[in-house]
Structure 1
């Protein structure tokens, strides 16, 4: 009969470690991560908009076989803009909340 091994539970050092094994970031590193999220969202908007323009050009010149790719590219571009808008709104809400904190 095979012996089963039970992996012991590791204690958490802080609540920030839940879900990942990385250290909690703060200071300049946290700022860089926050900035990277927005840079990635902006780049995603640019990429999807460029893809939509390419798909529309191919459709208008008759070089595309399946016309359903254009609405799919439009939906993808709209979703990326919506995501960026939501990120911006949440960042502004968080900033305003921090400003309201009394020290």
Structure 2
């Protein structure tokens, strides 16, 4: 997120923007994997509740399951591209 830092922002917001810019790719990747894991756990929990006969809407369970599935597929594609890029770099002649 890009925000203009000016004199009209309180000091706490300026510090928050500055701390957001310090996070690197590793931290971004860690947060993304944690989010994928959270979606998987939520989908699993809703599925178990539906199977147990609790009053859960089937649509809610299906949406949560699809979100988790799409997030996992995206994660796998990013991993595949990273491995492919690594292999390409290793094939380069110095």
Q: 1:84 is matched with which residue?
A: 75
Q: 1:7 is matched with which residue?
A: none
Q: Distance in 2 between matches of 1:91 and 1:65?
A: 39
The size of the alignment, in residue pairs, is: 73
TM-score under structure 1 length normalisation: 0.60
Higher-Rg member (1/2): 1
**Could you give the per-residue CA deviations for residues 17-71 of structure 1, whole angstroms, max 9, x where no partner exists?**
xxxxxxxxxxxx7xx7222232123212210111012211221233334211111
TM-score under structure 2 length normalisation: 0.65
Deviation of residue 74 (structure 1)?
0.9
Query: Pick from 47, 66, 71: which aligns with 2:62?
Result: 71
Point out the structure with the larger helix share: 2
Structure 2's unaligned 5+ residue stretches are: 1-21
- Classify the secondary structure of the residue corresponding to 2:54: coil
Structure 1 residue runs of 4 or more that deviate by more than 6 Å after TM superposition: none
